[in-house]
Amino acid sequence: MSVVDNFFITSSGYIGKPPQTSLDFSDFSDFSDFSDYSCLLIDNKIQKIVKIIVHKFEIVTVTEDIAMYAAEPILKWQQSEVGQWVIKNSVESPKWERFSDYSLYIEKFVITAKMSESNATYFSLKWK
């Protein structure tokens, strides 16, 4: 990635339900929406949570509404076998982010997901 990629983060969003941003401390029974962690209790086991890139693509900047053109590749990925598996096995909804490379007139999109280390390893071995 170039310096431009790290400097200009223009937009992002979640695929599905966004994670809970504030905690209700009256009930600790369900941590499924908790988004600020590195470890999580899953099936009565403490598991390390990792954030990985599960999909990426580029679109040449041709218009001001580039997010509209990105909807089709995101939807196709979401409906694919790998997309369905990631959505089912991630701790929270996968998130898309857009990076602008103004020197090449390219918009770079990445979809990231937070999942257990074992699921991340399975994903990496099967689909990367």
Residue 55: what residue type? H
pTM of the model: 0.70
Nearest to 42 by CA among 31, 54, 57: 31
Token duo for residue 18: 């966004």
Q: How confident is the model at residue 64 (pLDDT cuts 50, 70, 90)?
A: confident
Rounded CA-CA distance 47/52 in Å is 15
Q: How confident is the model at residue 61 (pLDDT cuts 50, 70, 90)?
A: confident
Q: What's the chain's average pLDDT?
A: 76
Q: Which residue has the higher pLDDT, 43 or 95?
A: 95
Nearest to 87 by CA among 54, 57, 109: 54
Residues of the chain above pLDDT 70, percent: 70
pLDDT computed for residue 113 by the predictor: 93
* Range in 8-12, 72-76, 79-83, 104-108 the model is least confident about: 8-12
Instruction: Please state, in angstroms and as integers, the Cα–Cα distance from residue 66 to each residue in 37, 72, 113, following that order.
Output: 32, 11, 22
What residues does 57 pair with on adjacent strands? Answer: 109
